[in-house]
Amino acid sequence: MKLSTKSRYGVRAMFDMAYHAGTLPAQIKDISRRQNISPRYLEQIFQDLKKAGLLKSRRGPQGGYSLAKPADEITVREIVLAAEGELQLVDCVKNRRKKGEKEPACDFDNQCLTQHLWAKASQILGDYFDSITLKDLCDQGKEMGLEKELDHRFMYFI
């Protein structure tokens, strides 16, 4: 019943981007250093987030990733969903007969009381995650007096 590191790192990384957002795209190496996440691994996570339409990227020098939408339009739910693949606490709730699977995930199918229980729980969890945006986290960060690191690349331009 644990969230995977992909979800946790994903939220941390995207928060980091929103918090330190500048004019230039953010680079993996900076985010990974600030958040102490393996850069190679973060790349993978960002691929997922990009596929989900939460990030956009630019290659080449001065390239990097940036948020695909304003911070107040990106919810924790979207990030977790993209990283985790889905937001169900249990598999038997899922659609049957998706490609390749011949057996339903559960023998009792719709006769099952507990199925409804888990589905409701998953929904409650999703609703909570949906109520929190990256902007909310940034506001919290400011309140806490969390330091923003100066973008070292600005140094060259001053």
H/E element, 15: helix 5-19
Name the residue among 52, 21, 38 with its Cα closest to residue 137. Answer: 21
In the bound complex, what is the minimum distance in angstroms from residue 156's beta carbon to a second copy?
29
State the burial class of residue 101 (Cβ atoms within 10 Å of its Cβ: 0-12, 13-18, 19+): exposed
Note whether 65 binds DNA by CB under 7 A.
yes
Stretch of 51-59, 73-81, 114-122, 125-133 lying at the interface with DNA (CB under 7 A): 51-59
C-beta of 29 vs 120, nearer to a second copy: 120
When CB distances are held under 5 to 8 angstroms depending on the partner's kind, the choice from a second copy, DNA, none that residue 158 binds is none
C-beta of 43 vs 139, nearer to DNA: 43
When CB distances are held under 5 to 8 angstroms depending on the partner's kind, the choice from a second copy, DNA, none that residue 12 binds is a second copy
Name the residue among 19, 14, 99 with its Cα closest to residue 28. Answer: 14
C-beta of 25 vs 79, nearer to DNA: 25
Beta-ladder partners of 65: 26, 57
Q: Between 11 and 40, how does the x/- string for binding to DNA read (CB under 7 A)? A: --------------x-xxx--------x-x
When CB distances are held under 5 to 8 angstroms depending on the partner's kind, the choice from DNA, a second copy, none that residue 142 binds is none
Place of tokens 């941390």: 12
H/E element, 152: helix 152-155
